[in-house]
Amino acid sequence: MTKRLILIRHAKSSWDDLDADDFERPLNQRGQVGADAIGKWLGDGGYHPDEVLVSAAARTVETWDRIALNLPEHSVDKREALYHASPDTLLSELQSASGNCVAIVGHNPGISMFARGAVDTAPAHPRFDVYPTGATLVVDFPTEDWKTVELGTGRVRNFVVPRDFTRATT
């Protein structure tokens, strides 16, 4: 049996208000378009999480809310621990999951470091090491229980960034 992880960095956020609290920053227009594109891609590809763990920050919540418009119903758990989480924290949060297909929406640098450590072989995509805003990794793990997942054993199924879909329109 395998478990599937969909690892998403929040979409592009707004810096219009430089005095705004980082936790409260929303998406900008490019981020909204990017999140919509990732949601459509996930839905069309049959990548449907049954459990979603989202950083409680405004930009991650808004990213997921836009993505979710293209997906079947699922549980969503907003977690303060995922706000700028380290790779170790991301692994710990994943190990507490119970779904067969779990999505995590978080922040760099932790999410890109976690993505690199999770997979047995990195995808050939030129933006994987950068893990830009909206980057989305789909990876399968050979485990029956998230509690026993081991880093370095994930098999990449797909990796995309919003610009793969929106370059012609943005």
pLDDT in the model for residue 170 = 42
Q: Over the chain, what is the mean pLDDT?
A: 94
pLDDT digits (tens, 9 = 90+) for 6-65: 999 999 999 887 777 999 999 999 999 999 999 999 999 999 999 999 999 999 999 999
The residue among 122 and 20 whose pLDDT is bigger is 122
Average pLDDT over residues 67-80: 93
Q: Cα–Cα distance between 154 and 152 in angstroms, integer?
A: 6
pLDDT band at 167 (very low <50, low <70, confident <90, very high): low
Q: Choose among 30, 87, 33, 23: nearest CA to 59.
A: 23
Report the 10 Å Cβ neighbour count for 37.
25
- Is 51:68 a contact under the CB 8 Å cutoff? no
pLDDT over 70 at 109, yes or no: yes
- In CATH terms, the superfamily for domain 3-12+21-121+143-154 is Phosphoglycerate mutase-like (3.40.50.1240)
- 129 burial type by CB count under 10 A (0-12 exposed, 13-18 middle, 19+ buried): exposed
- Is 30:54 a contact under the CB 8 Å cutoff? no
pLDDT over 80 at 80, yes or no: yes
